[in-house]
Amino acid sequence: MNILRVNLSNKEVKTEELSSDEAILGGRGFIANKLHKEVEPTTDPLYGNNKLIFAGGVFAGTQVTSSGRLSVGAKSPLTGGIKESNAGGTSADRLAELGYRALIIEGISEETSPLVLMLNNQSAKLVPDESLKDLGNYETAKKLKQENPNSGLITVGPAGEHGMLSACISNTDNDDTPSRVNGRGGLGAVMGIKGLKAIVIDDSKETKIQIEREEQYNQLAKDFSRLVANSESTANYRKYGTAALVKVTDGLGALPTKNFSRGSFEGSDNISGQTMYETITERGGEGTPSHSCMKTCVIRCSNVFPDENGKTLVAPLEYETIGLVGSNLGISSLDEIAKINWECNDIGIDTIEFGATMGVAMDEGLCEFGDFESVMDMLHEIRENTLLGRMVASGCNLLGKITGARRVPSVKGQGLPAYDPRAIKGLGVTYATSPMGADHTAGNTVRAPLEHNKKDGQVEASKNLQPFVAALDTLGMCMFLAPSIGKKRHFITDLINAKLGTEYSEKDLLELGRQVLNDERLFNEKAGITSSYDDLPAFFREEENPDSNSKFDIDKQELQKTFEF
Amino acid sequence: MNILRVNLSNKEVKTEELSSDEAILGGRGFIANKLHKEVEPTTDPLYGNNKLIFAGGVFAGTQVTSSGRLSVGAKSPLTGGIKESNAGGTSADRLAELGYRALIIEGISEETSPLVLMLNNQSAKLVPDESLKDLGNYETAKKLKQENPNSGLITVGPAGEHGMLSACISNTDNDDTPSRVNGRGGLGAVMGIKGLKAIVIDDSKETKIQIEREEQYNQLAKDFSRLVANSESTANYRKYGTAALVKVTDGLGALPTKNFSRGSFEGSDNISGQTMYETITERGGEGTPSHSCMKTCVIRCSNVFPDENGKTLVAPLEYETIGLVGSNLGISSLDEIAKINWECNDIGIDTIEFGATMGVAMDEGLCEFGDFESVMDMLHEIRENTLLGRMVASGCNLLGKITGARRVPSVKGQGLPAYDPRAIKGLGVTYATSPMGADHTAGNTVRAPLEHNKKDGQVEASKNLQPFVAALDTLGMCMFLAPSIGKKRHFITDLINAKLGTEYSEKDLLELGRQVLNDERLFNEKAGITSSYDDLPAFFREEENPDSNSKFDIDKQELQKTFEF
ipTM of this complex: 0.94
| C-alpha to C-alpha distance for A68 and A76, rounded to whole angstroms | 23
Conformation bin of residue B262: beta by default, left when phi > 0, alpha when psi is -120 to 50: beta
* Alpha-helical runs (H) found in B253-306: 273-283
Of B46, B165, B401, the CB nearest to A394: B401
pLDDT of residue A397: 98
pLDDT of residue A437: 98
φ and ψ at A226, to 5 degrees?
-65, -45
* Alpha-helical runs (H) found in B476-555: 482-485, 490-500, 506-527, 539-542
* Alpha-helical runs (H) found in B245-395: 245-252, 273-283, 319-321, 334-347, 351-363, 372-383, 387-392
Cβ-Cβ contacts under 8 Å, B528 against chain A: 528-530, 532-533
The full DSSP string for B381-428 is HHHTT-HHHHHHTT-HHHHHHHHT-S---EETTEE--SS-TTTSHHHH
| C-alpha to C-alpha distance for A321 and A318, rounded to whole angstroms | 6
The distance of Cα A360 from the centroid of its chain, to the nearest Å, equals 22
Maximum pairwise Cα distance, chain B: 62
| C-alpha to C-alpha distance for A240 and A272, rounded to whole angstroms | 9
CB-based contact A430:A442 (threshold 8 Å): yes
Shortest distance, CA B44 to any CA of chain A (angstroms) = 8
Contact A366 B387 (CB under 8 A): yes
Nearest CA to B8 among B49, B55, B54? B49
pLDDT of residue B296: 87
Of A165, A406, A530, the CB nearest to B530: A530
Cβ-Cβ contacts under 8 Å, A394 against chain B: 401-402
Query: Under DSSP, is residue A104 helix (H, G, I), strand (E, B) or coil?
Result: strand
Residue of A nearest to B385 (CA): A403
CB-based contact B90:B173 (threshold 8 Å): yes
Q: Does B46 touch chain A (CB under 8 A)?
A: yes
Instruction: Name, in order, each residue with C-beta under 8 angstroms of B515's C-beta and a sequence gap of 6 or more.
Output: B29
pLDDT of residue B208: 87
CB-based contact A432:A479 (threshold 8 Å): no
Of B48, B189, B535, the CB nearest to A538: B48
| C-alpha to C-alpha distance for B461 and B482, rounded to whole angstroms | 15
Measured in residues, chain B has a length of 565
Contact A387 B403 (CB under 8 A): yes
The distance of Cα A522 from the centroid of its chain, to the nearest Å, equals 22
Residues 359-418 of B with CB under 8 A from A: 366, 387-388, 390-391, 394, 398, 401-404, 406
Contact A390 B403 (CB under 8 A): yes
Per residue, the 3-state secondary structure of A332-386, as one string, reads CCHHHHHHHHHHHHHHCECHHHHHHHHHHHHHCCCCCCCCHHHHHHHHHHHHCCC
Nearest CA to A466 among A491, A495, A494, A429? A429
Query: Under DSSP, is residue A491 helix (H, G, I), strand (E, B) or coil?
Result: helix
Cβ-Cβ contacts under 8 Å, A529 against chain B: 528
Q: Where are the beta strands (DSSP E) in A108-246?
A: 115-119, 124-128, 151-155, 169-172, 178-182, 196-202
Instruction: Tell me how many degrees the CA angle A142-A290-A264 measures, rounded to the nearest 5.
Output: 105
Contact A528 B530 (CB under 8 A): yes
pLDDT of residue B154: 98
Shortest distance, CA A388 to any CA of chain B (angstroms) = 8
pLDDT of residue B555: 95
Shortest distance, CA B488 to any CA of chain A (angstroms) = 41
Neighbours of B456 (CB within 10 A): 11
β-strand A100-106 against A2-7: which pairing, if any? Answer: parallel
| C-alpha to C-alpha distance for A273 and A280, rounded to whole angstroms | 10
| C-alpha to C-alpha distance for A19 and A102, rounded to whole angstroms | 13
CB-based contact B365:B90 (threshold 8 Å): no
Judged on CB neighbours under 10 Å (0-12, 13-18, 19+), B200 is: buried
Cβ-Cβ contacts under 8 Å, B529 against chain A: 528
Query: Under DSSP, is residue B212 helix (H, G, I), strand (E, B) or coil?
Result: coil
Nearest CA to B439 among B419, B424, B458, B425? B419
Q: In what order do the strands lie in the sheet with B169-172?
A: B124-128, B115-119, B196-202, B151-155, B169-172, B178-182
| C-alpha to C-alpha distance for B354 and B396, rounded to whole angstroms | 8
The CB-based long-range contact list for B10-17 (8 Å cut-off, 24+ gap) reads B10/B107, B11/B126, B13/B124, B13/B125, B13/B126, B15/B124
Neighbours of B139 (CB within 10 A): 15
pLDDT in tens, B8-28: 999 999 999 999 889 999 999
Instruction: Name, in order, each residue with C-beta under 8 angstroms of B133's C-beta and a sequence gap of 6 or more.
Output: B113, B114, B161, B197
Integer CA distances (angstroms), B2 to B92, B100, B200, in order: 13, 5, 17
Q: Which residues of chain B have pLDDT under 70?
A: none
Shortest distance, CA B393 to any CA of chain A (angstroms) = 8
Integer CA distances (angstroms), A311 to A6, A290, A308, in order: 39, 16, 7
* Alpha-helical runs (H) found in A452-550: 458-475, 482-485, 490-500, 506-527, 539-542
The terminus-to-terminus CA distance of chain A in angstroms comes to: 32
Residue type, B164: M
Shortest distance, CA B565 to any CA of chain A (angstroms) = 23
Nearest CA to B379 among B400, B403, B353, B406? B353
Contact A44 B164 (CB under 8 A): no
Mean pLDDT, rounded, of chain B: 97
Contact A165 B401 (CB under 8 A): yes
| C-alpha to C-alpha distance for A174 and A176, rounded to whole angstroms | 6
User: What tens-digit pLDDT sequence spans chain A (565 residues)?
Assistant: 999 999 999 999 999 999 998 999 999 999 999 999 999 999 999 998 999 999 999 999 999 999 999 999 999 999 999 999 999 999 999 999 999 999 999 999 999 999 999 999 999 999 999 999 999 999 999 999 999 999 999 999 999 999 999 999 999 999 999 999 999 999 999 999 999 999 999 999 978 899 999 999 999 999 999 999 999 999 999 999 999 999 999 999 999 999 999 999 999 999 999 999 999 999 999 999 998 999 889 999 999 999 999 999 999 999 999 999 999 999 999 999 999 999 999 999 999 999 999 999 999 999 999 999 999 999 999 999 999 999 999 999 999 999 999 999 999 999 999 999 999 999 999 999 999 999 999 999 999 999 999 999 999 999 999 999 999 999 999 999 999 999 999 999 999 999 999 999 999 999 999 999 999 999 999 999 999 999 999 999 999 999 999 999 999 999 999 999 8
Shortest distance, CA B98 to any CA of chain A (angstroms) = 35
Cβ-Cβ contacts under 8 Å, A530 against chain B: 525, 528, 530
Cβ-Cβ contacts under 8 Å, A532 against chain B: 41-42, 526-528
Contact B529 A529 (CB under 8 A): no
Contact B387 A402 (CB under 8 A): yes
φ and ψ at B306, to 5 degrees?
-100, 160
Shortest distance, CA B279 to any CA of chain A (angstroms) = 39
Conformation bin of residue A195: beta by default, left when phi > 0, alpha when psi is -120 to 50: left
Shortest distance, CA A119 to any CA of chain B (angstroms) = 30
Residues 117-176 of B with CB under 8 A from A: 162-165
Query: Under DSSP, is residue A237 helix (H, G, I), strand (E, B) or coil?
Result: helix
Q: Does B533 touch chain A (CB under 8 A)?
A: yes
| C-alpha to C-alpha distance for A123 and A512, rounded to whole angstroms | 33
Integer CA distances (angstroms), B304 to B68, B151, B205, B300, in order: 20, 21, 29, 11
